Amino acid sequence: MLETNDEKPSKCKTLLASMDILTKHIEKALKELDRDSVSEMLDMILRAKSIFVMGTGRSGLVGKAFATRLMHLGLRVYVVGESTTPALHSDDCVVAISGSGETRSIVDLGRVVKEIGATLIAITSKPESSLGEMADVTVRIFGRAKDDGDGDSEEDYLARHLLGEYAKLSELAPLGTTFEITALVFLDAAIAELMVHMGKDSKALKEMHTKLEA
């Protein structure tokens, strides 16, 4: 028996609920975003001689996506940990991405950044964390870090509402998914704002796109 389009979504209840809760997280992050800290972050990026981006795991992938767009804007940008990344200097800035703000390697590198005298920008869901406290500017992104517990929360309430009495956020968006997805959206939106500040359009970005793709 063939299934109709109306019947198919019922087989993807968790998928649909997951997309719904991620969308709600992005909406909440937008409402809670501190525009002053975001403006300060953008100014720091534009003033920097070079921009360095760092993160681990999936946050690191979000950082690489952000670095790619910064390169498309014509900015000098590097990803920390790559073999081609040069030395950091005091007139540079570092964008550190960590949901918990306690990722050991990122916190340790953050201390090195401060010792050198470069500008440190933290993107985290925990402004009170070690990384958030040491940064020159901290942008709080609403979302759950992978190290957060599974206790009742506003996010779990949404999960139960979408999927049932026993649902938890960890079933719909495991580990640090909500932070990572929301950070990706935020940083892509930051690129759009930087385009306005720099007088760039999509054509200018396309001209910087690699021509050597396999």
Active site residues: 180
Q: Please tell me the distance from the alpha carbon of residue 99 to that of residue 72, in angstroms, as a whole number.
A: 26
Residue 89 is encoded by which pair of tokens?
A: 């200097």
Number of neighbouring beta carbons within 10 Å of residue 81: 15
Hey, is 123 helix, strand or coil? strand
Among 101, 66, 123, 99, CA closest to 179: 99
Residue 136 is encoded by which pair of tokens?
A: 């020159």
Q: Please tell me the distance from the alpha carbon of residue 26 to that of residue 46, in angstroms, as a whole number.
A: 25
Residue 142 is encoded by which pair of tokens?
A: 């609403």
